[in-house]
Amino acid sequence: MSKSDNEAARDEEWVFNTRISNIENCKQLVDVEYRLGKQAYDIHGEKIHKSYMLPVFVKKSSLGKLDANWKKEMEFYRRD
């Protein structure tokens, strides 16, 4: 469990941290209900400066769509 999980609402899951500048181009979040949290943490539980990264929380009902978006993106990069 990450510290970001403490900020998640009952119907949300923390999925990743993102740079503020990247959120508008984040293809994984197309048609996904999400919100940006208030404080991101690194793998050691230390705070990441808010001007650099924020946590992304996704509604549990949108996790399937998020997974489908990730699979679609990975297929683009997969080479046979």
The helix (run of H) or strand (run of E) holding residue 15 is strand 12-19
pLDDT level of residue 79 (50, 70, 90 thresholds): low
In this prediction the pTM is: 0.84
Tens of pLDDT, residue by residue over 26-52, are: 888 999 999 999 999 999 999 999 999
Q: Specify whether the CB–CB gap between 27 and 73 falls below 8 A.
A: yes
Return d(Cα 3, Cα 57) in angstroms, integer. 13
Per the structure, the complete domain to which residue 30 belongs is given by 3-77
| Span 8-26, average pLDDT | 89
Domain count, the chain: 1
